[in-house]
Amino acid sequence: MVIVHKSAFNGDTQEILYGIENECKIKAIPLVLFSGGITANYYEEEKSFKKLELNSKDFYSQNLKMFLENYRESGNIELLMLSYGQRWKFDIILNCMEKINIFIETHKDEEDILYDEFVNYTEFHLLESLKVQYHKPTIENGWLYLAEVEKIALSVELYIKESLTYEK
């Protein structure tokens, strides 16, 4: 794993940062970039490469301690724990559910939805990487019906309720 203070590579040394990121992609090494100038946390997962960009305040928090303890105990590198803490998976699912509901509300007058727009807005792909059970939509030529999105929302809501029930 590589952790880099992003601001250390401003100006002419920006090429070094690109080189580090490229090397991490090639070798499938998880990469964390942090800086006080980062206003929103950003997570990217591409095949076997994972990258997280986050604000310094989020990086230097209790989440870092939990992340390191988890790594020491399990050997697993859970980058999203740095952003979301101990219940990182559940927080991501809740955030995704909120985005799905907002998406439905803002597209309620449309019958067909561009699938890529849905995925990009809701970060829906994270549900699959977390192995969340949800309704698998029918996609036709890159489009899906709003009714399919509503079925996804209902299935994720059910998953959340079941998770809370079994957690008690």
57-99 per-position pLDDT tens digit: 989 999 999 999 999 999 989 898 998 887 888 888 999 999 9
Burial (CB < 10 A; 0-12, 13-18, 19+), residue 86, is middle
What average pLDDT does range 121-128 have in this prediction? Answer: 85
pLDDT at 155 > cutoff 60: yes
CA distance 54 to 41: 4
Are the C-beta atoms of 64 and 84 separated by less than 8 Å?
Answer: no
Task: Determine the pLDDT at residue 82.
Answer: 93
Helix then strand then coil, in percent of the chain rounded to 5, is: 60, 15, 25
Per-residue pLDDT band for 12 (boundaries 50, 70, 90) equals: low
Residue-wise over 115-147: b if at least 16 C-beta within 10 A, else e? beebeeebebebbeeeebebeebeeeeebbbbe
Contact criterion met (CB below 8 Å) for 17 and 32: no
pLDDT tens digit sequence for 31-60: 999 999 888 888 888 888 999 999 999 899
Give the mean pLDDT of the chain.
90
Does pLDDT of 5 surpass 60? yes
